[in-house]
Structure 1
Amino acid sequence: MEERAALRQPVPGDRATVAGGLLRIEKIYHEPDVAAYERGCEILARFPDAERVEVPSHWNIPELHGDEGGVGEWNRTKKTVLVLGAKKGLQVRPFYRSCDFIAPSQANGCAMACSYCYVARRKGYANPITAFVNIGGIMGAVERHASKQGMKLEGTQADESLWVYELGTNSDLSVDAAVSDNVRDLVGLFRELPNAKATFATKFVNREMLDYDPRGGTRLRFSLMPPETSKLVDVRTSPVEERIRSINDFVEAGYEVNVNFGPVIVKDGWREDYAGLFSMLDDWLSPAAKAQLAAEVIFLTHTRELHEVNLKWHPKGEELLWRPDLQEFKTSQASGDKVLRYERNAKRALVAEFRETLAERLPYCRVRYAF
């Protein structure tokens, strides 16, 4: 087995609190062989006082994934529980919006608790971080795939000259980076690939990542919405103002920094709220940050299942998210799930309003896509 290492004893001291207190790991569920991987040993040693519970699979933890009563402990579970396993499927999949390809994930789940997030539907209740310890295999799959692509001869929506690999469809890598060196290793990989760059969206400011030296090989996308709305639905995330204030620093550190306006939540005064957000960006961004700025715009998608779960732990947020008077059910082309989206004809006008406001306030911000 690759990356084998002798099982090391936990190092003395309490290092359970990471990510500025967002995580305080008290229990680690782990697959039987995680200590056979160097990365597994490193993570276990980082949280020496955490209770360890062996499980057959990171997908098979009934007390996390099948216990409906666990919804009452939603935020505590995300703060105190970590899952370790090995990523089984290492396929690279084509995509067409934020990237050209989706890389095998180095983690799934999240310590944050955005009430609109589809990731919570994947593994049931709370869905804390699962970190994958076979990072060598994950990186090898990406490197081989990029090598087979050769140079990019024709531009796509994702990038004109480089193949773009999405790293973060199932987790937030800025938080994952506080758990292990998986993200540092991936940034290092894309620093060296001549024909590819990495990308991921985030709602957390991890300033330790400023030292990763990406040299333009990683596109970080800060997800943004009006601060007052974010305070209600972006649970356990960095404040929007902090995300904006960090953009110049990440550009200076060698990242390409874009923004992700999503999900756009329609409510009374939403257009004025976004005009204020755009002005905040314009006031703060440096000339270098403005010169490379691009955006993705994604209007809210919701589901009845997630709505019912949210009512049990965060009903206030559902006053904004669950709007059957404005929404309609539709089958998602990406997942095949039945989802609730803003009514089709009304949404066209909403998207047009958003783009008009953005063009007025941030004329230099290129829109990669809006839907």
Structure 2
Amino acid sequence: MPVESHWRIPELHGDETNVDRWVRIKREALVLGVKKSLTTRVNGRSADFIAPSTANGCAMACAYCYVPRRKGYSNPITVFANIEKILAHVQRHVAKQGVKPEPNQCDPRSWVYDVGENSDCSVDAEVSGNVDDLVALFRGLPTAKASFATKHVNRRLLTLDPQGRTRVRFSLMPARVAKLLDIRTSPVPDRLAAIDDFVAAGYEVHVNLSPVVVHEGWLPLWAELLDQLGDATSAATKAQLQAEVIFLTHEENLHRVNLGWHPKAEDLLWRPAMQETKRSQSGGLNVRYRSGDKARYVQQLLELIAERAPYLDVRYAF
């Protein structure tokens, strides 16, 4: 079915009544497109740069995901077919940077490019060869690394021979919370069990402790998860393991949509007594934990990491 834009598909986007088909759409719809605007943006937090997306959307259905907020509250996978042009753009951008002049929190030696800002590359690799091509590209770029976060264990990626030039960031949260919020993802024990295997296959592996959801009894659950992480990983893995810590940000319209298909998730995500509002750059109304309280939560979790996982270097926490 030809359409003008993957942002404006009448049967999928711009209609919040699609809430009744929220997960079904992900099973039934696949959008193939050509990415027209190829830009690489400065990031500086998780990565030095955000590369042009080779996909947008996801077959998973995490209740807090930010991507559908910008897509009319329907979020199937869009795969971009002009991968050669995207790869050429990235290669030119890397060449322009030259050698990284000094270490930063992204990496001590290499420029880091996030290649999965609007999708999960492990899922994308189930439906196209774009991720294979990205891994192959960065394998030959000695001054740069690819990076992506994932909640899906795709063991086919173990065959791609990244040679240390691709960083996989496994997203983790306590399994009891993930069962409620991380819909259609790989179970947390499966993610933990995959970490050593990905390191052995030549990936650099980090963990994203995110989103951190504060609720009654949250710290003991995180202590249990940190113990599980330690039990699941070898000394070689621990020696290269680093973490990003990201506390929950939620959004008013997504809250309303979630009430239509997964209201139990909102019992944890939407806590007005604990949260304050902030208008996003796109005009949406976001909620986050009250600033003074959030600083205390961050400190509590960092102290817990230092106690239960002293090998884990936290690159940033917010």
TM-score band, normalised by shorter chain: over 0.9
1:359 aligned partner: 306
1:5 aligned partner: none
Q: Evaluate the alpha carbon distance shift between residue 161 and residue 106 of structure 1 in structure 2; reply closer, same or farther with a 3 A threshold.
A: same
Matching of residue 349 in structure 1 with residue 296 in structure 2: yes
- Give the 5 Å matches for 1:31-180: 53-180=1-128
Structure 2: 5+ residue stretches without partners: none
Q: 2 CA distance for matches of 1:351 and 1:58?
A: 38
Matching of residue 263 in structure 1 with residue 229 in structure 2: no
Q: 1 CA distance for matches of 2:108 and 2:14?
A: 44
1:247 aligned partner: 195
Report the AA paired with residue 308 of structure 2: R
Q: Superposition RMSD on alpha carbons, in Å?
A: 1.0
Q: 1 CA distance for matches of 2:84 and 2:305?
A: 41
Q: TM-score, normalised by structure 1?
A: 0.84
1:337 shift after superposition: 4.1
Secondary structure at the counterpart of residue 260 of structure 2: coil
Structure 1: which 4+ aligned runs deviate by more than 4 Å? none
Q: Deviation per CA, 1:81-137, whole angstroms, max 9, x where unpaired?
A: 100000111001001111000000000011000000001112123310000000001
1:18 aligned partner: none
Q: Deviation per CA, 1:127-165, whole angstroms, max 9, x where unpaired?
A: 100000000011111000000000001111100100000
Secondary structure at the counterpart of residue 126 of structure 2: coil
1:238 aligned partner: 186
1:66 shift after superposition: 2.1
Report the AA paired with residue 246 of structure 2: I
Which of the pair has the greater relative contact order for Cα pairs under 8 Å at 6+ separation? 2
1:224 shift after superposition: 0.3
Q: 1 CA distance for matches of 2:160 and 2:42?
A: 27
2:317 aligned partner: 370
Whether the 8 Å contact between 2:73 and 2:254 is mirrored in structure 1 is: no
Q: 1 CA distance for matches of 2:53 and 2:110?
A: 20
Q: 2 CA distance for matches of 1:109 and 1:319?
A: 25
2:156 aligned partner: 208
Identity among equivalent pairs (%): 60
Q: Deviation per CA, 1:255-301, whole angstroms, max 9, x where unpaired?
A: 00000000000011100000000000101101111010100000000
Report the AA paired with residue 214 of structure 2: V
Q: TM-score, normalised by structure 2?
A: 0.98
Number of residue-to-residue matches in the alignment = 318
